[in-house]
Structure 1
Amino acid sequence: MAAISNPGQQPQDKPETYVGLAEEEAKERARGKGWTTVRALPPGAIVTMEYRSGRLNFTVTDGTVTRCWSG
């Protein structure tokens, strides 16, 4: 039987603090806080729902983060 992989640690960060930031500023801040994957998406984008430890997702409208969530 295969071993269960260790998903790793999430950065100690609050996704809601990114809302209202410019996209590039938010990406830079997220990487500086330790997020290994940062994904910016347009409103209404269709995305997979699997959870990925270390990933931060942004919804970006007109260059500004309007929603943010981990996984």
Structure 2
Amino acid sequence: MAPIPTPPAEPQDSPQAYVGLEARSAEHRAREHGWSTVRSLPPGAIITMEYRTGRLNFEVTDGRVTRCWKG
């Protein structure tokens, strides 16, 4: 039987630190901090809810991050 793979570690970064930043700056900062996937979404967007290690989600209103969460 094959071993269970260990998921990669997520960056030690607080999603709250991105709230209020301009969306482009936030995306650039997230990639610098090691997030492999950064997703910008409009408010109320319909999205899948599966958890993806290494993904950071931004809800963006008028060019600014208003909400941020992992997965």
In the superposition, the TM-score normalised over structure 2's length comes to: 0.93
Separation in 2, partners of 1:2, 1:61: 45
Task: Report sequence identity in percent.
Answer: 66
Separation in 1, partners of 2:62, 2:48: 23
Match of 2:28 in 1: 28
In the superposition, the TM-score normalised over structure 1's length comes to: 0.93
Stretches of structure 1 that go unaligned for 5 or more consecutive residues are none
CA shift for structure 1 position 56 = 0.1
Separation in 2, partners of 1:45, 1:5: 32
Aligned length in residues = 71
C-alpha root-mean-square deviation of aligned residues, in Å?
Answer: 1.2
Alignment of 1:1-71 (within 5 A): 3-71=3-71
Separation in 2, partners of 1:59, 1:11: 19
Give the 3-state SS of the residue equivalent to 1:44 in structure 2.
coil
